[in-house]
């Protein structure tokens, strides 16, 4: 069969994208017990051929400047699909084995995902530590499979792109260099360390209690991030209502958004990590969360609402490349970070929970601490991942540096055995970090243009709505320029990290 022209490829790719996203969604939310992604990609195998890739490459080179980026994104998707086609069956196998894995607990067994979800709500320190260790032991059994899939993906990627160095390959895809991002966030982390250290002692004492170890294990992170001891204020029951009201204040009526479909139910196999799956933006965008009680539910819902409103808010007449394809996730994460950071505003706690000014300041500080520890974790993760992938062609992937870097940055012990389960594909950590820098710049911009109460002003929504209309087209670096910042200027971020 001969390869398709650009238009025909785009049309068919759209159909594939919808099916593939819906399959991923069904598994993620626990509606399906097994992943059949391989069958989906096999049905569209004629999209992902070397001949097709050659056609798209030629079209990209011949394209006028204005059209080149949209063809480039189609080409990148084809490239990625070629690799997925080869590996989908084994990736399904790994995913299905993880879904079937059981953690022995209390004389019974828990699905691995339920064990991870349980860590956020188990109130006893010692039991949390034990459950975390048991879950890690089960997860570690899959490390050889994880590593061998990474190696095969690396081989295929090298051959198809002609770029042997994994870091350079990812930089070519994202269109940015990664080391300067690491340098910028490392500096920001160091500049804010003394503030973090005192907050860390205060909050770990309060959240983990007197029996805590000096450096608690990462088994406690979900409990800490959930700010569980504040649960009586931030109840599971109120989370949706408060979040909808929060969005309304900045001018978004989530329930009236035609394209957004929410899935808020609790199922045993549903991943505890909230997410958005934009199957067919702006028409079909799934917002998926699993509330467990605690402030983190509110942050997670607001975070995903930022993604959902972004995708559902794009202009329907944009080409596929600017509605649902992107080189990375650094743009959409700005919007989600901006939304979830509303929980760091003391006024929000007064307005929606009737707290005194002093309590509101204290709880907003807790939210800031929880965000800061995450920023520090990701900055260390990017450092590790850059080393991991730089060495990978030679050593095939080792945990060297993972435990040391993450533990030093957070004061929480991350065990080396967790390094593969903790790695998102394609340097997602760098996307998060670019968004962290940018979201701080956007907040600073909004404070100047809209006011300190930007988080409850419809002008904020109007500013965002214009950006959402452009879909995935602009780069995050372009957005920095529009509001008058250098892309890696971390002054606004450091101000927030060191604010008293
Ligand atoms: Zn996100």
267-292 tens-digit pLDDT: 877 777 889 999 999 999 999 988 88
CB atoms within 10 A of CB 32: 14
Q: Please give the distance, rounded to the nearest whole angstrom, from the Cα atom of residue 375 to the centre of ligand 1.
A: 13
5-19 tens-digit pLDDT: 999 999 999 999 999
| Three-state secondary structure call for residue 110 | strand
Q: Please give the distance, rounded to the nearest whole angstrom, from the Cα atom of residue 237 to the centre of ligand 1.
A: 23
Q: Please give the distance, rounded to the nearest whole angstrom, from the Cα atom of residue 54 to the centre of ligand 1.
A: 33
Which residue matches tokens 């307005």? 351
Whether the per-residue pLDDT at 495 is higher than 90: the answer is yes
Q: Please give the distance, rounded to the nearest whole angstrom, from the Cα atom of residue 276 to the centre of ligand 1.
A: 8
Whether the per-residue pLDDT at 77 is higher than 90: the answer is yes
Q: What Rg do the C-alpha atoms of the chain give, in angstroms?
A: 22
Q: Please give the distance, rounded to the nearest whole angstrom, from the Cα atom of residue 431 to the centre of ligand 1.
A: 10
Calculate the CA dihedral of residues 71, 73, 76, 81 and round it to 10 degrees: -100
Q: Please give the distance, rounded to the nearest whole angstrom, from the Cα atom of residue 50 to the centre of ligand 1.
A: 32
Mean pLDDT of 168-178: 96
CB 406 within 8 A of CB 380: yes
Q: For residue 374, what pLDDT band results from cuts at 50, 70 and 90?
A: very high
178-216 tens-digit pLDDT: 999 999 999 999 999 999 999 999 999 999 999 999 999
Whether the per-residue pLDDT at 451 is higher than 80: the answer is yes
Q: Please give the distance, rounded to the nearest whole angstrom, from the Cα atom of residue 393 to the centre of ligand 1.
A: 30
- Asked which of 89-93, 317-321, 431-435 is least confident by mean pLDDT, the reply is 89-93
Residues whose CB is less than 8 angstroms from the CB of residue 283 and which lie 6 or more positions away in sequence, other chains included: 258, 259, 316
Q: Please give the distance, rounded to the nearest whole angstrom, from the Cα atom of residue 389 to the centre of ligand 1.
A: 23
Mean pLDDT of 482-489: 98
Mean pLDDT of 447-469: 98
Percent of the chain with pLDDT over 70: 100
Q: Please give the distance, rounded to the nearest whole angstrom, from the Cα atom of residue 297 to the centre of ligand 1.
A: 14
DSSP, res 268: T
Taking each helix axis from N to C end, the angle separating 193-208 and 491-498, rounded to the nearest 10 degrees, works out to 40
- Residue 1 is predicted with a pLDDT of 59
Q: Please give the distance, rounded to the nearest whole angstrom, from the Cα atom of residue 208 to the centre of ligand 1.
A: 27
As given in the structure block, the two tokens for residue 28 are 């993620």
Mean pLDDT of 222-237: 90
Whether the per-residue pLDDT at 229 is higher than 90: the answer is no
Whether the per-residue pLDDT at 101 is higher than 90: the answer is yes
Mean pLDDT of 288-313: 93
Tally the residues of the chain: 500
C-alpha–C-alpha distance, residues 70 and 241, integer Å: 39
| Three-state secondary structure call for residue 275 | strand
Q: Please give the distance, rounded to the nearest whole angstrom, from the Cα atom of residue 11 to the centre of ligand 1.
A: 27
As given in the structure block, the two tokens for residue 293 are 């009680």
- Residue 265 is predicted with a pLDDT of 84
CB 323 within 8 A of CB 14: no
Q: What CATH fold (topology level) applies to the domain 179-498?
A: 1.10.1370
Q: For residue 163, what pLDDT band results from cuts at 50, 70 and 90?
A: very high
Task: Please report which helix (H) or strand (E) contains residue 279, including its range.
Answer: strand 275-280
Q: Please give the distance, rounded to the nearest whole angstrom, from the Cα atom of residue 333 to the centre of ligand 1.
A: 5
pTM for the structure as a whole:
0.95
Residues whose CB is less than 8 angstroms from the CB of residue 76 and which lie 6 or more positions away in sequence, other chains included: 173, 325, 327
Where b means 16+ CB within 10 Å and e means fewer, 436-448 reads bbbbbbbbbbbee
Whether the per-residue pLDDT at 38 is higher than 90: the answer is no
Q: Please give the C-alpha separations between residue 279 and each of 30, 146, 282, 357, 366, in angstroms, as whole numbers.
A: 17, 26, 9, 42, 35
Q: Please give the C-alpha separations between residue 352 and each of 82, 298, 299, 308, 355, in angstroms, as whole numbers.
A: 49, 12, 14, 22, 8
Q: Please give the distance, rounded to the nearest whole angstrom, from the Cα atom of residue 275 to the centre of ligand 1.
A: 7
Task: Please report which helix (H) or strand (E) contains residue 10, including its range.
Answer: helix 6-28
- Asked which of 18-22, 98-102, 269-273, 403-407 is least confident by mean pLDDT, the reply is 269-273
Q: Please give the distance, rounded to the nearest whole angstrom, from the Cα atom of residue 304 to the centre of ligand 1.
A: 6
- Residue 407 is predicted with a pLDDT of 98
CB 265 within 8 A of CB 292: no
Q: Please give the distance, rounded to the nearest whole angstrom, from the Cα atom of residue 307 to the centre of ligand 1.
A: 7
CA-nearest of 96, 93, 69, 74 to 17 is: 74
Q: Please give the distance, rounded to the nearest whole angstrom, from the Cα atom of residue 336 to the centre of ligand 1.
A: 6
Residues whose CB is less than 8 angstroms from the CB of residue 64 and which lie 6 or more positions away in sequence, other chains included: none
Whether the per-residue pLDDT at 482 is higher than 90: the answer is yes
CB 348 within 8 A of CB 342: yes
- Residue 425 is predicted with a pLDDT of 77
Q: Pick the residue with more confidence: 231 or 165?
A: 165
Q: Please give the distance, rounded to the nearest whole angstrom, from the Cα atom of residue 326 to the centre of ligand 1.
A: 14
Q: Pick the residue with more confidence: 360 or 32?
A: 360
Q: Please give the distance, rounded to the nearest whole angstrom, from the Cα atom of residue 214 to the centre of ligand 1.
A: 31
As given in the structure block, the two tokens for residue 381 are 């993760």
| Three-state secondary structure call for residue 117 | helix
Mean pLDDT of 55-65: 96
Mean pLDDT of 432-461: 98
C-alpha–C-alpha distance, residues 121 and 375, integer Å: 23
Task: Please report which helix (H) or strand (E) contains residue 422, including its range.
Answer: none
Whether the per-residue pLDDT at 121 is higher than 80: the answer is yes
């Amino acid at each position: 069969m001969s390869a398709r022209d650009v238009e025909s490829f785009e049309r068919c790719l759209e159909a594939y994208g919808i099916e593939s996203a819906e399959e991923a969604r069904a598994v993620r939310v626990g509606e399906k017990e097994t992943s059949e992604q391989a069958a989906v990609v096999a049905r569209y195998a004629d999209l992902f051929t070397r001949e097709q890739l050659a056609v798209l490459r030629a079209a990209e080179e011949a394209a006028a400047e204005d059209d080149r980026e949209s063809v480039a994104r189609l080409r990148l998707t084809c490239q990625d699909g070629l690799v997925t086609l080869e590996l989908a069956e084994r990736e399904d196998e790994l995913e299905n084995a993880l879904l079937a894995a059981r953690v022995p607990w209390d004389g019974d067994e828990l699905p691995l995902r339920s064990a991870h979800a349980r860590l956020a709500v188990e109130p006893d320190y010692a039991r949390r530590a034990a459950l975390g260790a048991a879950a890690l032991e089960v997860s570690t059994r899959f490390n050889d499979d994880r590593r061998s899939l990474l190696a095969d993906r690396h081989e295929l990627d090298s051959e198809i792109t002609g770029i042997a160095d994994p870091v350079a390959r990812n930089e070519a895809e994202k269109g940015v260099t990664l080391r300067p991002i690491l340098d910028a966030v490392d500096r920001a982390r160091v500049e804010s360390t003394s503030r973090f250290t005192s907050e860390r002692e205060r909050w770990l004492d309060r959240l983990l209690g007197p029996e805590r170890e000096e450096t608690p294990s990462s088994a406690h992170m979900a409990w800490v991030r959930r700010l569980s001891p504040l649960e009586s204020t931030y109840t599971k029951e109120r989370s949706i209502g408060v979040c909808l009201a929060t969005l309304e204040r900045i001018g978004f009526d989530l329930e009236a958004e035609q394209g957004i479909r929410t899935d808020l139910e609790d199922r045993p196999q549903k991943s505890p990590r909230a997410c958005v799956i934009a199957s067919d933006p702006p028409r079909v965008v799934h917002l998926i969360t699993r509330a467990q009680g605690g402030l983190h539910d509110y942050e997670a819902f607001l975070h995903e609402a930022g993604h959902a409103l972004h995708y559902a808010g794009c202009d329907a007449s944009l080409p596929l490349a600017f509605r649902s394809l992107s080189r990375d996730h650094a743009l959409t994460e700005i919007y989600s970070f901006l939304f979830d950071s509303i929980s760091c505003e003391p006024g929000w706690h007064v307005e929606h929970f009737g707290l005194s000014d002093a309590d509101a300041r204290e709880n907003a500080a807790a939210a800031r601490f929880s965000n800061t520890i995450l920023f520090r974790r990701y900055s260390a993760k990017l450092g590790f991942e850059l080393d991991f992938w730089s060495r990978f062609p030679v050593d095939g992937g080792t945990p060297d540096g993972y435990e040391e870097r993450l533990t030093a940055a957070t004061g929480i012990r991350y065990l080396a055995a967790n390094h593969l389960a903790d790695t998102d594909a394609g340097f997602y950590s760098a996307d998060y970090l670019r968004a962290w820098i940018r979201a701080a710049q956007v907040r600073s911009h909004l404070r100047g243009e809209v006011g300190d109460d930007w988080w409850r002003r419809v002008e904020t929504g109007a500013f965002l709505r214009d950006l959402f209309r452009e879909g995935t087209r602009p780069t995050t670096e372009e957005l920095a320029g529009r509001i008058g910042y250098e892309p890696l200027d971390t002054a606004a971020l450091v101000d927030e990290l060191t604010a008293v």
